[in-house]
Structure 1
Amino acid sequence: MPSLLDNIIWSCLSGAHAKFASGTADARRYAPGFSPIVAFPDPERPNFAALRAFCEPGEHFYCDGWSGAAPEGWRIEAESTMFRMVWDAPVPLVDEAGDAIALRPEHAQQAFDLAMLTRPGPFGLRTPELGEYFGYFDNGRLVAMAGERMAADGLREISGVCTHPDFQGKGLARSLMSKLVMRQLQRGETPFLHVMSANANAHALYLRMGFKDYKETVVRVVAPY
């Protein structure tokens, strides 16, 4: 039976996050400043022509579920695969990040800088406006964070999970993720996330935490010209 998870990005951009998006009934994108992601009602038959009017030369976008040839006026800059994972375990009993700080608008630049350094996935300066974000600070510097991005009918994505290289190995990101999972489940939401297939360590960690693989899908970075 089809699930919203099969085309979760479109479900999000045409639903709960339509106010953060632009486009048409055939193609949508997060508005500039948010995560550079695009989606189509049928990802295997993307209508890039409908999307073109909402994009500028020099922009780069992530899209998934599509493996055809580059359409006219666009180039494919990167291609890989990723796992879409969904929570499949009980509610965590303890908030492992009780001392984490809720990120506020004044932290947006630090969050963006940390994401640009560690590359957890598509991230924009306004991405933290899409949900709750929590972080750990060291002497006023954000060194680890995790938050929420996509949302659709009870599904809530955990995203932006990253740790500064100088602070890795301390379990900071894992504890932030566990906090978000607990909060989402307590709200009656089902957590899900994305992880690149090549990131075997992160994939194994998420499996141990209680996520399970839903599907593996092609992911591409595309750009208009």
Structure 2
Amino acid sequence: MLSNPAWAALSGPQACFAEASGDAARFRSDVSPFAALADPADPAAWRDLATLTSTALLTGPSLSPGPGWETASATPGVQMVGRAMTGVRDPEAVILTEADVPEILDLVERAQPGPFRKRTVELGRYLGIRVDGRLVAMAGERFRLPGWTEVSAVCTDPDFEGKGLGARLTLAVAAGILERGELPFLHAAADNERAIRLYERLGFESSHDVVFAAFRYTH
């Protein structure tokens, strides 16, 4: 399940956000750019995906394009799990809602945490920290699978880096996940050694290598 988290989410707890065809599914475009296949090694699943979209972002341990598809880009990453960690609630963290989306998207533009769309905030609980009314850091929940929830969009305004805000919000989001009886996991770019060291200090441990790959349908 953790080796194919987007499929586990789209075919399970987050099916309400899915557009599906056979053994392929994707999040609605205003929610997330991610798509998924029940079995990325199955050519039929790739044909199903072509009925949904001509471009797709997938993640998994190993991904090769199916017939008619080509790889547009690929970024190595690592998946980390928090099997034995302890979350910590943060009294300064506020719950972010649809009303905060303009500010969230502005922060995403400045901090570049990865793909984020105008309805991504609906996928789970997002928390932020404000300084003088300005949203300067956030983190939240993206993929939800049976028993697991992904911590995602951890980011801090460049003017406020180095103050531990990302760590605080990661622990606060994890606390909410753990209180539901689930376990947190997350992804990081393989070359983001600073983030990986931080997550290790917070109690996450490496699960396996992944790739984030964009594919394009050519015929």
TM-score (norm 1): 0.88
Give the length in aligned residue pairs.
217
CA contact (8 A) 1:37 1:62 kept: yes
Quick one: percent identity of the two aligned structures? 37
**Superimposed CA distance per residue, residues 54-88 of structure 1 (whole angstroms, 9 cap, x where no aligned partner):** 226xx55243344325642x442221211111103
**2:84 alignment counterpart:** 89
**1:77 alignment counterpart:** 72
Gaps of 5+ in 2: none
Q: 1:218 to 1:188 in 2, by over 3 A?
A: same
1:165 to 140, 158, 169: 158
Q: Secondary structure at the match of 2:84?
A: coil
Match runs of 1:61-140 below 5 Å: 61-69=57-65, 71-72=67-68, 74-92=69-87, 94-95=88-89, 97-140=90-133
Q: Secondary structure at the match of 1:174?
A: helix
**Superimposed CA distance per residue, residues 112-170 of structure 1 (whole angstroms, 9 cap, x where no aligned partner):** 23223322222111001011001012333321100001111110110011011111111
Partners of 1:219 and 1:32 lie apart in 2 by 17
1:24 to 21, 25, 49: 21
CA contact (8 A) 1:34 1:127 kept: yes
Match runs of 1:36-75 below 5 Å: 36-45=33-42, 47-55=45-53, 61-69=57-65, 71-72=67-68, 74-75=69-70
Match runs of 1:142-153 below 5 Å: 142-153=135-146
Read off the aligned partner of 2:117 and give its amino acid letter. G
Partners of 2:197 and 2:76 lie apart in 1 by 16
Shift of 1:53: 2.5
Q: Secondary structure at the match of 1:67?
A: coil
Partners of 2:42 and 2:79 lie apart in 1 by 20
User: Does the alignment pair 1:189 with 2:186?
Assistant: no
User: Does the alignment pair 1:176 with 2:169?
Assistant: yes
CA contact (8 A) 1:70 1:76 kept: no
CA contact (8 A) 1:7 1:43 kept: no
Q: 1:213 to 1:185 in 2, by over 3 A?
A: same
Partners of 1:173 and 1:211 lie apart in 2 by 14
